[in-house]
Each structure stands twice: as C-alpha cells, then as structure tokens.
Chain A
C-alpha cells in the first residue's frame, strides 16, 4: 500500500514538474464533478468524459464525483472553493445559469475558469398535430392576442424550455411576463399533456419529442438552432420565420478559479484532445448529442453573453426581482 502511495506522489511530482516546463502537458489524474445526482444529464456527461478520457489514453485515472443539490450551485460553490486546483473539472450547462439566479446563489459562473463547451442540443416548439397552428408566426399571433390563453408545457421553471418560451414572447413583441408556462416534472408528463391536447404548445429538447414527431403525433413549429437539424430537415428554424431568436441547450466544463496560465492550458488541451478523439465522437453519436466544441477566449465570450441574456429574461418573466 505504502509503495503505491509513494509511487503516486512521485508521479504527481513529475506531473507537476512537467506542467511547469512542457508546452503540452499531460494530466495523470483528473477529477470530474457532476453537480447533480447520478443518472442525470450532467452525470451522464461526466461519466462519458471519464470513459473517453481513459479509453483514449489521454488521462490515466479519472474520477467522477457527484455533488447534488440546488440546481448544481452547491457543486459550483465547492468548485470555487477549490481555488488553484489544476486537476479538477466540473460539468455544467445552460440550465445552471438560470438556477444560479433563481436560487439566489452566492456564487456564480463568472467566478470559475471556463474551459470548453462540449455539446449542444436544439430546442423545438411543437403543437399537437390536430392544432390549427401551422407556423411559428401563427403561434406568435395567438400569443400577441392573449398570452394567457396560450399554455406552454415544458420542463422545470427557469429551465431552458421556460427561457425559450419567454424569449419567444419577447422576440415576437408579446409580454413575456404574461406567458402561461406550465412546468411539468420530466418529459413524459409534458408529452402526455401535449398528446392529450391540454396545452397549446410544448417546448423541449428535440430528442425528447423525436419519437412523437416522427410518428406524426406532434408538429414542429420551429427549432431554436441557427441551422436546420440534420435529422429533421423539414423543421424550419425560428430565424427563417422572421423571429430573431437562437438558443442552444449547451453543456460545458469549467475549472476552479485561480489557475495559472499553464494549468488552464493543460486542462484545455486535455479536454480538446478528448473532444477530438474517436472515443468521444462515438459516444456523442450513441447518445445523440451534438458536438459543439468551443474553447478558449471564444467560449469565454459566449458564456458571458449567455449569462447576460438569461439574467435579463429571468427578470422579464418575473422569476427574479
């Protein structure tokens, strides 16, 4: 036992030395935190990263740990507490931006070191096939006429679906504060409400509604991505229909604050190598995630813009004062 500890400290020492000198640094150990319970989306991302990183031989030992609670903000606080630790990553995503505001979290995403965006999923706005609404424009007209009568079904309050509904209202010139958004727990319940025709429209990630869309039970009014989706080429984007709105439900990884430039580079290189690996690409395909790799300064700017946009819309819908 003792020898293995000695070996490990020696290895870390070597790794640290390598970090400060080599231009390309190889990490030997990496801890990835999923700030949610095992089994959720963030946990899935973390475990898939673990799998890709070790299978591709990029990092020898990867540990995933789960820190549950408060929309991921408890995990975030823990990450921010681990100042200067260059061997840690945390998975997060679009949803966390809203959760931070809703939960009045004392910590926020400007306090971490952004590493890279990994995946993104387009949202869709759908209606039951029997609905008289045919285009996003039709929905916009209804919404402008009487926002209360347009009921939206989607995921949790302040989540991606809710924010898209609010942004949609804003973009078409309706009062975002008056939208009648009904959060359901889990896609199944929202889907049932749609199929039962009890709500006007539904919002969700494309994947969640895919089966019903293909079976012809739901009609897509619009997808929120900048371009049409590969597996749903018939569904028009919002932009095409003259509504200036784009939204992607992205997932990314961030690192603790207070890292040196070398540490940040080592982490970014590691993640980039993983994102380009055959193993990761296979996982993306299997899980139906879209690659949306973005690192460095570009990701930094993107993150800041998203935080600003979400903060504004949360006030507009009346979720946050």
Chain B
C-alpha cells in the first residue's frame, strides 16, 4: 500500500509542467539517437551530462530516463527498415522485421514493435515499482556459474536461427565465437589473436559485425543479382496498421517477451541480448505458422522487441534499489545521479522519495509519450522504403559508415566493416545464415568469462556448476532443449514403426 501511495505522490511530481517538458525532450532525443546506429542512449546521456549539471536534478534524471526508453524504441526502426541493427539488442528484431518490411509489412512490424515496447515497458515499470525488492534479492544471488548456465541455455536455443543446414549454421556460430576471442582477454588482460595490431585489442565491435553482415552484406548481394533476379521492395502492402490477425498473433509474444526481458534485465550481468534470443527462439517454437519464420513472421518481431524494452526497465531495478549499474546506460545514469550528490540505493528511497518515485512515475509517462510519438511516425518511416533502390542502399551504406565512425573513427574499424560486409555477401551467396555469427560473438565472450570466473572461485572444480541449484536447473533445461528434438524424432520413428 505504501508503494501505491508513493507512486501516486510520484505522479504528482511527474505531472509538473517542467517535468513533463523534460520527459518530452528526453523521449524525443532518445528516439532520434536510437534510430542512428552506433549512437545509443548511453552515449547520448554521456554527452549531455556536462551540459545538465546545473539543471534541476529530478528534471534531468527524468530526461535521461526518457532518453533510455526512447533509445529502445528507436533502435528497432533501423533494424526493421534497413536491416541495420544499431545495437546488439535489436539483432533478433532485424531477423524477421526486415523480411516483413521488404514484403510491404513494415507498417505492422513497426507497429507491433512500438505497441509491444509499450506493453512491455508498462508491465516492466509496474514490476519495477512493486517487485523491485524481491527481484534484487534474486539478482544478488546469481553467481558466475548461474550466468554461465544461462548463456548455455541461450546457446542451445540459438539453433533456431540456423536455417536448414546445421553444418552451415554451426560454422557461422563458431566463426562468431572465434571472432569473440580477438582482443584483450577480460580475465588476464592478455592479447589474443591480435597479431600486433593495436586496433584489434578492443576486440570486434558487435555493431560493426552486425551492420557489416546484415546491411553491407545485403547491399552487395542485392547489387550482385540486380539483373538476374532484381529484388523488389514493396513499401506498403495491405494495411499500414496491424490487422486483427496481427493483434491476435502479437499479444502473447509481447507478454512472453516481457517475462524473459524484465527478470533477466534485472540481473547484474543479464543484459538485453540473452532475453531477445530466448524470446525469438521461443516464438519460433510456439508459432502456429512455423513456415513463416525466416520470411517475416510477426511473432519474431513482437517477442524480441518486448523483451528488449522490458530488460531496459529491468536494469533500472538494481540501479535504483542498490546503485548497481548493470548496463552501459545504467552506468552513465548512475554518474548522472552522482553529479547531484545522489547515491541510488535503499537510502535514496528513504531520503528523496519525491525524486525516486517521480522518476518511476515519469517512466510511465515516457512510455505513453513514446507510443504516441512513434505510431504516427510509422507512416513516415515506411515511406523511406519508397526511395529508389540505388539511393536507398547508398544511404544505408552511408548510415553504416557513420555509425561505425561515430563509435571508433579508425580505418581499421572501417576495414572490418567492409570485410564483414563482403563475408556477409559470400555467406548469403552460399546460403550460410549470418545471425548465428553475431550471436556467437555476443554470447561467446560472456559465457567464457563467466565460466572462468566460476572456476576461479571454485579453484578449478567444475562441480560448482552442478552444486548450485540455479545453475544446475538451467543446465538441465539446456540439456533437455538439446536432446528433446532427437528424442521426439526417435519417438515418432518408433511410433511409425509400430503402425
């Protein structure tokens, strides 16, 4: 009851005109930068920090939160329309989203992602307000072994992105994992696979690989078969909005995505990627139209987008309740708190309830503003696809270059973008799936680091993975997911033999 009262008070703060203004500026900025690949909410907030330190703390924190939520909405736009996932969390959205966009269903794809983000944001923010203390307890309980087990679950489900050949899918995945080895080893600081090139020490940037393989690779591929088999992009086919059928197919993925995103996002090392992958593969398994997956199934957009947004709200749980920053954006927001001498944590709730609850209330408002801002924009965005193809693809390459340079302005990085682009072309040509490679690059280093941390704590004893209930359960799930298809096949064969 206390929580409810505090929240109502919070709304009182958040509805002050000045606060609403800050919120609006925040969501607007967030959407704008979210659309640009390479420039995420973390960077934007970082750049704004020095400018805002003379402003009212509550106001600028509300603005930062607006940017954070806005960035999550904006990120899906480029992933769907241009097949250029601007951040690793939009990767899963790009898989089905871009297929939908090409088939003239960009409108519904954007709509389901906006409304899904809204639903997920709403539920997750309610969760943030009411469940935070509970979740935090769980979050702190998660040890390196548990994270490792979670990554294994994600790895096992990745096979959903393999396409029709396990060999080619695995090849793609392993190259991704190998690329993930490049750079400084997180646990010992040793350089691996850098061959004396200092630019490689920081490793392969996920966005560079994703944009290279997806956007640049596709530009090459489309150009190469222009005469023989010209690609057709249909800006709008059928309704610009979601049909009844779309709604029916979206609502459950939204909820399931939220269920993955919010708790995993609340884990200190959970991140936004793992829940989006899990959501994608779950939707693929549960979808009533499995044939549509890979060709633009709306469930594959609705689920991951909801997961992505819910995880964003999830990261605010440890940030506000413990002062634990668990993502780049959260770390910068923490710096934002600290520049006003505020330390997020249990004390802050007691000392500055107006500020904290005002912030949480304004997250609800930001969410509403975002959906109002984004839905009318859909019509405009979809028109982008009506640009003549040469200009569209030239623009995509300009965009990809800009994103890469904004993060790291070195020719080596551009060289990698080009290389990955060409690799993406060859992979398309010989029907290798590109998504597993990016997944390998994201999950490989995370899994390795967590496993090694676990073994360092246990002094090399691998039993630690099975002795802990959470990790043992997760590994059990992974094992089941791995063998279930074979067992089912065997059973079917057995049944067939009996008949």
Which residues of A are interface residues toward B (Cβ below 8 A)? Answer: 37-39, 43-44, 47-48, 50-51, 66-71, 73-74, 77, 102-105, 148-149, 151, 156-158, 180, 182-189, 191-193, 195-196, 198-199, 207, 210-212, 214-215, 283, 286-288, 319
Contact = CB atoms under 8 A, between A and B. Distances in A.
B324 interface: yes
Contact of A192 (B49, B142, B190, B410): B142
Given A157-B185, A158-B189, A188-B326, A211 B198 contact: no
Contact of A212 (B199, B338, B341, B345): B345
Interface string B322-344: 11111010111001001111011
A214 B201 contact: no
Contact of B50 (A48, A74, A157, A207): A48
Given A103-B184, A192-B324, A69 B347 contact: no
Contacts of A210: 343
A193 B268 CA distance: 9
A43 B49 CA distance: 11
B340 A286 contact: yes
Contact of A103 (B191, B269, B456): B191
Interface of B: 42-43, 45-47, 49-50, 53, 139-144, 184-191, 198-199, 201-202, 268-269, 318, 322-326, 328, 330-332, 335, 338-341, 343-348, 407-410, 449, 453, 456-457, 459
Given A156-B186, A192-B142, 4 more contacts: A39-B46, A73-B201, A186-B325, A212-B322
Contact of A77 (B189, B198, B318, B345): B198
Contacts of B410: 67-69, 74
A156 B50 contact: no
Contacts of B328: 39
A187 B323 CA distance: 10
B188 A319 contact: yes
A286 B185 CA distance: 34
Contacts of A105: 198
B347 A211 contact: yes
A157 B47 CA distance: 27
A250 to B, nearest CB: 19
A85 to B, nearest CB: 19
A157 B186 contact: yes
A47 B344 CA distance: 24
Nearest to A198: B143
Given A182-B457, A207-B338, A212-B322, A104 B331 contact: no
B189 A157 contact: yes
Contact of B345 (A48, A211, A287): A211
Contacts of B53: 283, 286-287
Nearest to B269: A189
B142 A37 contact: no
A101 to B, nearest CB: 9
B46 A43 contact: yes
B339 A286 contact: yes
B43 A38 contact: yes
B331 A188 contact: yes
Contacts of A184: 453
Contacts of A68: 202, 407-410
A51 B339 CA distance: 15
A189 B322 CA distance: 12
B197 to A, nearest CB: 9
A268 B245 CA distance: 69
Contacts of A182: 187, 453, 456-457
Contacts of B50: 44, 47-48, 50-51, 283
Contact of A187 (B45, B198, B325, B457): B325
A300 to B, nearest CB: 26
B202 A212 contact: no
